[in-house]
């Protein structure tokens, strides 16, 4: 299995999850400027969508989209409990979180990365982010993780999105439970290992 990643991008959530699952895989960096792979190929040869993550399975099939790749990784090792079992109500709750993080939180953060997006639009994205985080804060209640007691792939995804906050000027101090979850996930050895593998600072 090969995970294609951009340093510090959302693919970091997949890398964290692969480590948590104890999976055998290779992490392949995509050059941010040239979008080339270490073997000289264009990344679009692997994933015509052009963005990360992409997970190349051992039979050569390529899986994309965080909402598909993260549960796939979780199911590689059910004993790691990175997702509730397929067919349970809880599994749909995980899908609900992944959809929310992907479409409602990640995509608003994505706008903040784009120099071409005008400031008023960025402010709208920040207001959206604050509303999305307020809901997470409320839903967390006394739970340590999004799904309750167990860390899941959704927490890895939320952690990575929030790791962009400082450089994008997103303040999460109004959300102490979200902040505590972020710190809890940051302290996991898998996160340390994944950050080190991507050459990210401590
Ligand atoms: N819908 C995609 C979005 C992935 C995405 O936004 N990837 C970003 C990094 S976080 C990316 O590769 N951006 C580079 C680009 O769009 O060229 C998913 O959830 O997998």
Task: Compute the distance between CA of residue 15 and CA of residue 27 in angstroms, rounded to an integer.
Answer: 8
Which structural domain range is residue 7 located in? 2-81+190-197
Q: How many CA atoms lie within 13 A of 20 on its CB side?
A: 28
Q: Are residues 72 and 107 in the same domain?
A: no
Task: Compute the distance between CA of residue 127 and CA of residue 121 in angstroms, rounded to an integer.
Answer: 10
Q: Are residues 96 and 136 in the same domain?
A: yes
- At residue 143, the pLDDT reads 97
β partners of residue 56: 2, 62
Are 9 and 161 in contact by the 8 Å Cβ rule? The answer is no
CATH number at residue 166: 1.20.1050.10
Asked whether residue 202 is domain-assigned, the answer is no
Q: Are residues 180 and 136 in the same domain?
A: yes
Asked whether residue 43 is domain-assigned, the answer is yes
CATH number at residue 75: 3.40.30.10
Residues of the chain with pLDDT under 70: 202
The count of domains in the chain is: 2
- At residue 201, the pLDDT reads 84
Q: Are residues 33 and 61 in the same domain?
A: yes
Q: What are phi and psi of 181, to 5 degrees?
A: -65, -45
- Provide the whole-model pTM: 0.98
Cβ–ligand 1 contact at 95 (below 6 Å):
no
Cβ–ligand 1 contact at 161 (below 6 Å):
no
Q: Are residues 109 and 75 in the same domain?
A: no
Please tell me the distance between residue 141's alpha carbon and the centre of ligand 1 in angstroms: 30
Q: Are residues 118 and 184 in the same domain?
A: yes
User: Residue with the nearest Cα to atom 16 of ligand 1?
Assistant: 51
Pocket test for ligand 1, best of 7, 10, 37, 107 (most atoms within 8 A of CB): 10
């Amino acid at each position: 299995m090969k995970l294609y990643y951009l340093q510090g991008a959302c693919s970091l959530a997949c890398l964290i999850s692969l480590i948590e699952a104890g999976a055998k895989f290779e992490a392949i960096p995509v050059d941010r400027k040239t979008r080339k792979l270490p073997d000289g190929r264009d990344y679009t040869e692997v994933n015509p969508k052009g963005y990360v993550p992409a997970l190349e399975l051992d039979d050569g099939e390529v899986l994309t989209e965080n909402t598909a790749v993260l549960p796939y990784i979780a199911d590689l090792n059910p004993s790691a409990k990175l997702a509730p079992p397929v067919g349970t109500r809880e599994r749909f709750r995980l899908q609900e979180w992944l959809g929310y993080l992907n479409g409602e939180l990640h995509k608003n953060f994505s706008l903040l990365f784009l120099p071409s997006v005008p400031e008023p639009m960025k402010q709208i994205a920040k207001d959206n982010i604050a509303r999305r985080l307020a809901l997470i804060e409320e839903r967390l209640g006394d739970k340590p993780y999004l799904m309750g007691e167990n860390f899941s792939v959704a927490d890895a995804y939320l952690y990575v999105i929030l790791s962009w906050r400082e450089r994008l000027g997103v303040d999460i101090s109004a959300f102490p439970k979200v902040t505590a979850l972020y710190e809890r996930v940051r302290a996991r050895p898998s996160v340390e290992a994944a950050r080190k593998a991507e050459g990210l600072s401590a």
